[in-house]
Amino acid sequence: MTMVSTPAWGDAQVSALDDDEVRRIRNDFPVLEQEINGKPLIYLDSGATSQNPRSVLEAEQEFYEQRNSAVHRGAHHLAVEATDAFEDARATVARFVGVQDDELVWTANATAGLNLLAYSFSNASVDRAAGGAERFALKPGDEVLVTEMEHHANLIPWQELCRRTGATLKYIPLDDAGALRLEEAARLMTSRTRILAFTHTSNVLGNINPVDVLVRMAREVGALVVLDACQSAPHLPLDFKALDVDFAVFSGHKMLGPTGIGAVYGRRELLNAMPPFLTGGSMITTVTMEEARYLPAPQRFEAGTPPISQAVALAAAVNYLSETGMRRIALREAELGQRLVTGLSAIDGVRVLGPGPGEERTGLAAFDVAGVHAHDVGQYLDNLGIAVRVGHHCAQPLHRRLGLSASTRASTYLYTTSEEVDLLVEAVAQVRPYFGVTASGAAS
Amino acid sequence: MSGLDSLYQQLILEHSRARTGADLASLPDVATGEPATGQGLTGQSHQLNPVCGDEITLRLSLGTAGDGQAVTEIHWDGEGCAISMASASILSEMAPGMSPLSFRHMIDHFRELMRSRGKLEADEELLQDAAALAGVAKYPARVKCAMLAWVAAEDALHQAEASQTAFRAL
């Protein structure tokens, strides 16, 4: 299929998935058929982990039943079949995000991907002699720039990298509504900025950050751009080349795939100039007792036996997404996101974090219920069979900025019906009465 | 009673709103090794549940009662769900007057109850109001919420006793 080359997915020729289609889609997801506490499961936690269609489960099973073998070694038949399946999967997923096959490195998950980048830069910093690694080396005076809305996975690896190298970590602050303060971004982006790492869409706010604006700023100062696409790759049509980022990471289990697999995209010339992170088998050309030479990317970063069946299953997942149509999914989720924010905002004492009704938002909404802790909100909803995420969602600084320690998050996907969103909203409206909290937030 | 109502019993909801002992400042800061005459020893503990961010800072004072020692006061500051706040409130109400031995005995039983996944019956005589928290045991994800203040109190007691030992050693 043709890949979308711009993030403008609101195309007149494409319509959102409708409820009838969603009901058909649900038949492909066995886990959704169950009841919780005697109520049909309403799964609104896809932002944490999505569910798997049968085609993904079958792809993994078929691989183990028919083709299981190590890859990139062995001359036997199964080894060839497994290697083909593994590399075909890479090509499928690379195409899905608009990049070349050798620019996609498999990792265990997105966190592992971000650590791969940070540790490779760290290695470059201590071993400047490593060929071509100088451009990735950090030293005191250099700066890494992130944002105040990052998931801990796109914050702590950079904190640690800065601590090890003496570089300084800075962050683009948020306004009271949770949006990036771009005027501050422009001020913070200087010739000292070596790396800009930010999330495409926040896992809490549901906003979509202006990648083009930030990339332009980074280009002007020569900083490398790392995009956390964990929450966008599953939900928006993506083309990393069109977004013009240097690196991007995403996770398989958030996009209908299995756990245990994620990927790093990197521009080919960058990946091949970076020092390896994990070393060992499968990533070398010549090894002596004194030293080793390394393969080019992607194998350069894939030491040890990779997640083979997971790659095959992830390819089945992106095929499912592509066949459904990423633009149609994105439009559908934008509708659900609006339904969420509109419904939840109308409830007394409920504050939705991030963009308000009518503003651009993905298909998730995190909210605070005045006077009731998120854990209790989640427990109340679970009793009704509604699965949501509660807590800080691995974004403590963001919550602190918004004056909270925790929130409740409902996140949709292509299998979420409008009725499910409505049932959630109805249930949330009952939370404060149940816990005996009055309109003012005080105890009754 | 529905599952949810057995978790959030009226007593728990009441304690979560009107919190006994939720006034940390009213008990002076830890006076390690320097108990003023007539005053007890104070121990302090800070506990955090990293999963949900629930947090408590709890101070416990130890004084004399009859010919032995007893917990005199528990005061705390905390933020968290109804279960963790109610649990801290109930504990603060019950603890005063208990000897360290019986206080520990109660904590041990409560911990065992919480970890039982609902298989153990609460000893209502021992736990008093805290028996209302028995329903939490059926929700493994919430056990840490109920335990937060108890773990803090156990640690604070240890700190108070340790400061006493340190004082005696002077």
Pull the structure tokens for residue B115: 């970890």
Of A200, A213, A174, nearest in space to A254 by CA:
A200
Q: Are A3 and A98 in contact (CB under 8 A)?
A: yes
> DSSP states of A26-78 as a string?
HTT-GGGG-EETTEE-EE-BTTT-----HHHHHHHHHIIIII---SS---SHH
Torsion of CA A388, A392, A393, A399, to 10 degrees: 120
Q: What's the mean pLDDT in A113-119?
A: 98
Cα–Cα dist A103/A420, whole Å? 39
Using an 8 Å CB-CB cutoff, list residues of chain B that contact chain A.
2-4, 7-8, 13, 16-18, 51-55, 79-83, 85, 139, 142, 145
pLDDT at B33: 46
Number of residues in chain B: 170
> In this prediction, what percent of chain A has a pLDDT beyond 90?
92
SS3 of residue A232 by DSSP: coil
pLDDT at residue A131, rounded to an integer: 62
Q: Which residues of B touch A435 (CB under 8 A)?
A: 8, 13, 16, 82
**Containing domain of residue B26, as a range?**
3-169
Between chain A and chain B, the number of residue pairs with CB atoms below 8 A apart is 50
Task: Give the closest residue to A310 by CA, choosing from A54, A57, A28.
Answer: A57
pLDDT, tens digit (0-9, with 9 covering 90-100), for A259-310: 999 999 999 999 999 999 999 999 999 999 999 999 999 999 999 999 999 9
Mean local confidence (pLDDT), A353-361: 97
Above 80 in pLDDT, residue B152? yes
Contact B83 A406 (CB under 8 A): no
Q: Give the start-end residues of each E strand in B11-151.
A: 41-49, 54-65, 68-79
The mean per-residue pLDDT over the stretch A378-385 comes to: 97
Q: Using an 8 Å CB-CB cutoff, list chain B residues near A405.
A: 53, 55, 79
Three-class DSSP category at B37: coil
Has residue A65 got a pLDDT over 90?
yes
Q: What is the ipTM of this complex?
A: 0.89
A30-39, A134-143, A405-414, B23-32: range with lowest mean pLDDT: B23-32
Q: Given A373, A390, A391, which is nearest B82 (Cβ)?
A: A373
Q: Helix (H) and strand (E) counts for chain A? A: 15, 17
Residue of A nearest to B80 (CA): A373
What is the pLDDT at residue A306? 96
Compute the 3-state secondary structure of chain B and give helix, strand, coil in percent, each to the nearest 5: 50, 20, 30
Q: How many domains does chain B have?
A: 1
For the residues of A388-423, what is the DSSP string, one character each?
-EEE-TT-HHHHHHTT-S-EEEEE--TT--HHHHHH
**CA-CA distance, A73 to A305, in Å (whole number)?**
11
CA B104, B145, A385, A25 torsion-angle sign:
negative
* Interatomic CA distance for residues A177 and A197, integer angstroms: 21
Q: Is residue A420 pLDDT above 80, yes or no?
A: yes
Q: Which of A116, A195, A271, A394 is catalytic?
A: A394
Q: What is the C-alpha to C-alpha distance for residues A421 and A94, in angstroms, rounded to an integer?
A: 33
Contacts of the segment B138-141: beta carbons below 8 A, 24+ positions apart: B138/B3, B138/B6, B138/B7, B139/A379, B139/B7
Tell me the CATH number at B86.
3.90.1010.10
Distance CA A204, CA A353 (A): 7
Distance from CA of A62 to the nearest CA of B (A): 35
- Whether A394 is a known active-site residue: answer yes
pLDDT for the residue numbered B165: 74
pLDDT at A354 exceeding the cut of 50: yes
